[in-house]
Chains A and B, each alone.
Chain A
Amino acid sequence: MTRTLFALIKRDLNLAWRQGGGALLGTVFFAVAVVLFPLGVGPEPNTLARIAAGVLWVAALLAAVVSLDRLFEADHDDGSLDGLALLPLPFSLVVAAKCLAHWLASLLPVVIISPFLGLMMRLEGDALGALVLALLLGTPGLSFIGAIGAALAVGLRRAGALLSLLVLPLYIPALIFGVAAVEAARMGLDPAPHLMLLFGATLFAVVIGTAAATAALKFDLE
């Protein structure tokens, strides 16, 4: 069973890197969106630091949505989804493995480059640490919640726009807790309570996202 899931994650990562676009698109989108803010708002450090948490988190949410639309669509189009549904293990594990692969390929790079963009937005010290930690704890939930939208949108034309409408409202808890953690650290307070709430939201997303996406895909296979 573990072997099957490893094989699936390995394949999805391989495909994401091979296609170039898939994996890096979200990360590049994240970087470009954040870089635009100092240009638009001006280089004044206090202003930038004040909006930094919100800007970085919103950019991360959008990066997640941008990279989600092919999560199940590609496997549906070429018939792989039938093969995946017929693997001898619960289909929900297959769905969860695909979500994990999406996070590793598309959102972990966002977490990795976030300190550089945080510095550019004039976040310092603890606030920068809180940002990275918050993104690390919060972004897995984005993949799993996003999977619900990606599964519902399988087979639809112009799924991208629909996907943002479906998924972005569900990202609000992660956004609120994630920004609160960074803000608390910036004010010299303890970000831990916010981080714990954020991670709680992520765990909730893992369970709900897997179950709902599995149900939606099963309906689609019928």
Chain B
Amino acid sequence: MADSLVASRVTARRGGRLVFRDLELAVVPGEAVILRGPNGAGKSTLLRLLAGLLRPETGDITRAGVAIADDPESHRADLHYIGHSLALKGILTAAENLVFWAEARGGDAADAASALAKTGATAFANLEVRRLSAGQQRRVSLARLFVSPATLWLLDEPTVTLDQAAVAALARNMAAHLAAGGMIVAATHVDLGLAGARVFEMAAARGDDEAAA
């Protein structure tokens, strides 16, 4: 397998509480995995583990056969993680925020502008982010996916506060990313209508014995 993301027998514990045990998940290029499950099932934890922001208590997460802990930088160079928080500065304009993320990932202002266009945020690119509505802010935050090319997208509830048109645009962008050989793991309750998306059910963690795999 050229590129793939594999979590094998991963157990995660946060703040002493077992979140899940012996979780198995594999994602290959062109594939989207939609995480489903009740609140507290560990969807966000799994996404943070896959990004390398958290370390599993036991088990391995590998990227193209190499443990991400062994080569975190090349893993990070080839992924975008969009969490609940926007990772935007309210007192900077949308464009300034995106230019920073573009430059930090080796791009430039032109990349930032085209990224904003992809999520329909060009119209308010020159407004301070704190003046934007929640949905507009989310569009600006999602534009971070396009500041630099990355195979793996990890999305934590990306549709929250988006209107229907923006959700549709996100689904189109995700489909285009998959068609280009990208990999997506997303936690969402919205049906994005992605062809070939696989749903990964996560059960609620119920203490040490019955945690889901």
Q: Which residues of A contact B (CB under 8 A)?
A: 3-4, 6-8, 10-11, 14-15, 18-19, 74, 77-80, 82-90, 221-222
Contacts and interface: CB of A to CB of B under 8 A. Distances in A.
B104 A82 contact: no
Interface of B: 51-55, 73-74, 76-77, 79, 81, 83-92, 96, 100-101, 103-106, 144
A3 B92 contact: no
A18 B89 CA distance: 11
Contacts of B76: 86-88
A15 B97 CA distance: 11
A141 B58 CA distance: 39
B54 A90 contact: no
A42 B144 CA distance: 58
Contact of B87 (A14, A83, A89): A83
Nearest to B99: A7
A2 to B, nearest CB: 11
Nearest to B100: A11
B55 A222 contact: yes
B54 A15 contact: no
A221 B106 CA distance: 24
Max chain A CB contacts within 10 Å: which of B84, B90, B101?
B101
Contact of B103 (A4, A78, A90, A222): A4
Contact of A86 (B52, B74, B100): B52
A15 B89 contact: yes
Contacts of B100: 7-8, 10-11
